[in-house]
Amino acid sequence: MRVLLLLLLIHTANIASAQEFREEINSIDNQFDKIYKKATNYKNYKVILKEQYLNLKLNVLDSIKDSKRLIFEIENRLHTKNSTLKKTKEQLVSAEFNLKEVIQKANSMTFMGVQLNKTSYNLLLWLLIIFLISTSVYFIFKYKKSMTITKEAQRVLLENEKALEIHQKKSLVREQKLRRQLQDEINKQKK
């Protein structure tokens, strides 16, 4: 099994090297060299056969045609890649624009219909909270002060009511005492 695998590997290597060798033999440069070597000399000129010249011409034209086809294919690929690159750049610009919008929306807040960045929004919110807390403290202080004044007024009112009640009782006792004395005097004079 290993021998068969080894023979298959050697055969494949031989085929690959033979193809490279054929390509080297069939190149335009090698064909010119071959024709030059086979050409005969006539005075200071080289003479080549018409058949060899026509074969060389056909091979050169064929090579030029293949080169043009290859250049055309490369230009098409280049054009395709350029258009793809252009589309990709447009998509990148669009994505960057969308990213900027998203970042701007993420870094801003809407407060009462006005678009504010987060720093301004936080500052405004804290100022509002401080204002509400200070206003609440002020009104709580005023309420306590009013409650103290009201309690003092109620205490004074109670004292005054008690004093009035005591005074009324004393006045009633005094009035009764005076009426008795008056009645006693009246009774004394009648007698």
**Where do we find the tokens 């709580």?**
140
Beta-carbon contacts of residue 28 (< 8 Å; ≥ 6 apart): 59, 60, 63
Look at residue 11 in the predicted model and tell me its pLDDT: 65
Beta bridge partners of 108: 117
What is the value of pTM for the model shown? 0.42
3-state secondary structure string across 124-141:
HHHHHHHHHHHHHHHHHH
Q: Which residues of 81-116 are buried (b: 16+ CB within 10 A; e: fewer)?
A: eeeeeeeeeeeeeeeeeeeeeeeeeeeebeeeeeeb
What pairs with residue 45 in β-bridges? 42
Greatest extent of the chain over all pairs of C-alpha atoms, in Å = 202
Q: What is the pLDDT along the chain (191 residues), one digit of tens a residue?
A: 666 655 566 766 666 555 444 444 578 888 888 888 887 888 887 788 888 888 888 888 998 999 999 999 999 999 999 999 999 999 999 999 999 988 888 777 777 777 778 888 888 889 999 999 999 999 999 999 999 999 999 999 999 999 999 999 999 999 999 999 988 888 888 87
Q: What is the pLDDT of residue 20?
A: 47
pLDDT of residue 73: 95
Give residue 88's pLDDT. Answer: 95
